[in-house]
């Protein structure tokens, strides 16, 4: 009897825009590219499994390569209600992955950058472990009852930004720990903390956080 194909658990997602140097690519089961993210993946020598979007920014050579090498292409009309990046996250979720490592999406339009940054904190992705890698910076959304555990190098900067009002925020492994705190929207209290221990944990009871670690080696 033919065995069913294993369900992928870890995905790489390449977004359009610029991309930092990547020291090492984590192990993965499937690679998804959002439009011109396909070109970025190829620049890094990464084979793409799924290409998705309206395909208005991918290079002609890149699109031809995808069409002739068996890549699964999901093309959308340019008049759509979601960005190519959001469609790529939907595709990852539909495939059943449990974690997504994002590369690209840097530079270019400020609106696009902020859209991705806030987009990864949406509640619809709360069951995905999302990491967005940008050279010496990494971004992580944190949802209630789903602690984020990190091993950032000591001396790294660790920033906690509340997305809306939050309650029960705790952070360990940093110079200024937080214990069951309320962080209202717009507060600067969580900015520029410093990693002082080998492991760090960030969690909360209500709301959503965006955690940014800076000064670490590229992932």
Q: Is residue 125 domain-shared with residue 191, that is, in the same domain?
A: no
pLDDT of residue 5: 53
Reported as a pLDDT band with limits 50, 70 and 90, residue 144 is very high
Report pLDDT for 85: 92
The answer on 71 and 2 residing in a single domain is yes
Who has greater pLDDT, 216 or 95? 95
129 and 164 co-located in one domain: no
If asked whether residues 187 and 107 sit together in one domain, one would say no
Confidence label for 202 from pLDDT (cuts 50, 70 and 90): very high
Q: The domain that contains 191 carries what CATH number? A: 2.60.120.320
Parent domain of 163: 136-219
DSSP string of the chain?
-PPPPPPP-EEEEEESSB----S-PPP-SEEEEETTHHHHHHHTT---SEEEE--SSS-HHHHHHHHHTT-EEEE--SS-SS-HHHHHHHHHHHTT-SEEEEEE-BSS-HHHHHHHHHHTT-GGGTTSEEEEEETTEEEEEE-TT--EEE-PPTT-EEEEEEEEEEEEEEEESBSS-EEEEEE-TT--TTTTEEB-SS-EEEE-SEEEEEEEEESSPP-
Cα distance between the two ends of the chain: 40
Q: Are residues 86 and 167 in the same domain?
A: no
Mean pLDDT for 151-175 is 96
Q: 158 and 75, same structural domain? A: no
- CA 177 to chain CA centroid, Å, is 25
User: Within this chain, do residues 19 and 63 fall inside the same structural domain, yes or no?
Assistant: yes
Number of structural domains the chain divides into: 2
Percentage, residues of the chain above pLDDT 90: 75
Tell me the per-residue pLDDT of 4-22, one tens digit each, with 9 for 90 and over: 455 678 899 999 888 877 7
Record the pTM.
0.89
Is the pLDDT assigned to residue 218 strictly greater than 50? no
Confidence of residue 216 (pLDDT cuts 50, 70, 90): low
Better-scored residue on pLDDT, 83 or 172: 172
Q: Is the same domain home to 102 and 166?
A: no
Assign residue 62 the CATH number of its domain: 3.40.50.10240
Average pLDDT over the chain reads 90
Residues 120 and 160 in one domain: no
């Amino acid at each position: 009897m033919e065995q069913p194909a294993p369900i992928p658990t870890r995905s790489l997602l390449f977004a359009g825009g610029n991309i930092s140097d990547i020291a090492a690519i984590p192990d993965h089961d499937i690679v998804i590219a959002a439009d011109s993210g396909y070109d970025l993946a190829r620049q890094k020598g990464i084979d793409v499994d799924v290409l998705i979007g309206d395909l208005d920014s991918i290079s002609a050579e890149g699109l031809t390569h995808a069409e002739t090498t068996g890549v699964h292409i999901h093309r959308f009309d340019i008049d759509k209600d979601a960005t190519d990046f959001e469609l790529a996250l939907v595709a990852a979720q539909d495939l059943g992955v449990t974690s997504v490592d994002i590369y690209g999406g840097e530079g270019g339009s400020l609106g696009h950058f902020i859209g991705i940054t806030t987009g990864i904190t949406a509640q619809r992705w709360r069951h995905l472990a999302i990491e967005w890698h940008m050279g010496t910076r990494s971004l992580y959304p944190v949802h209630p009852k789903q602690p984020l555990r990190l091993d950032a190098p000591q001396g790294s900067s660790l920033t906690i930004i509340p997305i809306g009002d939050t309650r029960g925020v705790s952070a360990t492994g940093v110079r200024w720990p937080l214990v069951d705190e309320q962080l209202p929207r717009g507060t600067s209290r969580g900015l520029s903390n410093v990693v002082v221990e080998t492991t760090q944990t960030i969690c909360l009871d209500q709301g959503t956080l965006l955690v940014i670690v800076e000064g670490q080696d590229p992932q």
